[in-house]
Structure 1
Amino acid sequence: MVDRRVDTRELHARRIADCLFPRISHSKHNYIMTDPKDIEIDDLIANLGRDPTATRRARNPHVADDHTLSKEHDLRHLIAVWTAERTCPDILPYENELMDKILQRIRDQVSTMEIESSEAPPAGDEGAGQARKLRLLLIESELERIKFLARGYLRARLHKIDKYATYILQSPDEHLSHLCASEIRYTTRRTQQLKEHYDVSFLSTLPSKLRRLDDDAGGLRMVDEPSLDDVVFVRVMQDLHGVVTISEDEEIELKKGNIYALPYYLIRQHLALDKAQLV
């Protein structure tokens, strides 16, 4: 029997992708918006558009070089934010501009692949056909790598949203502002649906004073929140003047290029100013 169970976070990732990126089906000559229900992250590349700067880059090699450097920088940035989101105990600000650029480039590259694969190879030139297949295979492998990073970034954020949804909604200035619009809608809807489920399941049978899900009576909080005391590995990107106090009898000076294992709350402000980077 085939196991048809689906990971909960995979479903959540699909819903966030649904809100972030409309699903588009395409034919040879037109594009039609369709029902985005059950969208796969793979469908993010379905809106196949041409890069408006392609002609300009072809005419100007300096523009092409700048574009290549920009893509390499964005890929390194994607790897860095993916790593940071996975290792950070708190939820970080959503990288909206970066994700928009990365996903648009995926669409453009897929469009190029479809055009090249649909063209017939030169007659009698078997070597050219084999070279084209190899080129398309390499491009597809690179696309899968980038899609893996994008999925991982979204899933890491969804894991934290699921775990700290109530806390995030209770701290709009500090945490809710770190979410994109679709993540905010997801967090609000999920929290409301969870409360309705609890009400129907058992809360309605309890006295009204015991029905709260955010009670902190007796010094115990019912709401999970990120542990800022968790130790993280961090690379210092520039010399930080002064010392960091770890305990009453221990201080450390953070020097550029070094990697340290420190409690997150000690390095949090330097991460926000891009003076340090999670690894």
Structure 2
Amino acid sequence: MDIDDILASVDQPDASTPQSTALDHQLLTRFWIAERGVSELLPWPAGLMDRTMERVRRQIESIEDLAASSSDPYSTATNSNSNNNPTLNLKLSILQTDLSRTQYLVRSLLRHRLSKLSKHSMHYLLLVSPGPSSSPQNNNDNDDDENDPHPQDSIPPLPPTSSNPDTAAPLSPQELAFLHAHQSLLAKHYASSFLSSFPPQLRRLDDNAGGTSMVQAPETKEVVFVRCLVDGVRVVVPAADAGEDDIYATAMRVGDVAVVRWEGVRDAWGGGRWRFYNTF
């Protein structure tokens, strides 16, 4: 029995559909490499992850059924099981190996995303917030204790979850819940540790007084290795000032490998015109 036939036994019958295992695994691997390659959190691929987790669930059920049938003490064909299914152990081994490969990609992907969320939690809360949080100047007019701002006051509310699973939202619903809970606990810890002794106007975690923001954003000028997938892709160097124009580098050809800043290929990567190799 061929290995592809074994894997296809737990896959969808039509391998030419966009939901096929081979295509989804390739997309998952590419997204995993891209997520590891940049410090910025990439949009959550809801459709891809839903199909992947559903396939993992079905594959686990198939492995459990095969393992149970091979070790059933009440089966009348136990003695002849090895003759009727000489490839049963091999089939179980291949399915378990393929399952472990997918589980490793999913675990590594989630760990990298959670690490980014923990490092830049306030930045992503402000990014996905439906509206700006209350201004610190609104809380600085009164010096009464009951009107003093607290770190928790600067945490924006959670946005409404989208009913469309194909929407390329920045975060998944589980990541949104984790992000809000993490930042709330962090704000309470800061308040009890040292922020309560600060003046009221200095207690907010999203303070931007004096033109300096206290919110740390991911670094977009880091260097990445990318491979061009289509003709005519140009690297963009964003303007340093608002009055300047963006600079466009020479167009790349299919197969060219470039070492560029992430901010210069971010839009092209979103359109599927670049593939990641690695990062410094």
TM-score of the aligned structures, taking structure 2 as reference length? 0.69
Within 5 Å, give how 1:96-245 maps onto structure 2.
96-120=46-70, 123-124=79-80, 126=82, 131-172=87-128, 177-217=169-209, 220-240=212-232, 244=236
Paired residue total = 220
Moved more, 113-122 or 178-187: 113-122
Tell me which protein shows more helix as a share of its residues: 1
Q: Which has the higher contact order (CA 8 A, sep 6+)?
A: 2
| Shift in alpha-carbon separation, 1:179–1:56, aligned structure 2, 3 A | closer
Moved more, 140-149 or 203-212: 203-212
- 1:244 deviates by 4.7
SS at match of 1:252: coil
Rounded to whole Å, the distance in 2 between the matches of 1:179 and 1:115 is 35
- From 16, 27, 34, the counterpart of 1:77: 27
Rounded to whole Å, the distance in 1 between the matches of 2:63 and 2:10 is 17
Moved more, 242-251 or 77-86: 242-251
Contact 1:88 1:278 in 2 (8 A): no
Rounded to whole Å, the distance in 1 between the matches of 2:11 and 2:237 is 53
Q: Residue in 2 aligned with 1:14? A: none
TM-score of the aligned structures, taking structure 1 as reference length? 0.69
- 1:70 deviates by 1.3
**2:38 is the alignment partner of 1:88:** yes
| Shift in alpha-carbon separation, 1:181–1:125, aligned structure 2, 3 A | closer
SS at match of 1:232: strand
Contact 1:237 1:257 in 2 (8 A): yes
Moved more, 152-161 or 121-130: 121-130
Rounded to whole Å, the distance in 2 between the matches of 1:250 and 1:269 is 13
Which residue identity lines up with residue 189 of structure 1 in the other structure?
A
Rounded to whole Å, the distance in 1 between the matches of 2:262 and 2:223 is 6
- 1:215 deviates by 2.7
Instruction: Give the root-mean-square deviation of aligned CA atoms.
Output: 3.1
Which residue identity lines up with residue 254 of structure 1 in the other structure?
M
When Rg is computed on C-alpha atoms for both structures, the one with the higher figure is: 2
- From 260, 266, 275, the counterpart of 2:273: 275
Rounded to whole Å, the distance in 2 between the matches of 1:189 and 1:75 is 31
**2:256 is the alignment partner of 1:258:** yes
Q: Residue in 2 aligned with 1:42? A: none
SS at match of 1:167: helix
Rounded to whole Å, the distance in 2 between the matches of 1:210 and 1:142 is 53
| Shift in alpha-carbon separation, 1:258–1:180, aligned structure 2, 3 A | same
- 1:169 deviates by 1.6
- Percent of residue pairs identical: 28
- 1:64 deviates by 4.2
SS at match of 1:66: coil
Which residue identity lines up with residue 275 of structure 2 in the other structure?
Q
Which residue identity lines up with residue 214 of structure 2 in the other structure?
M
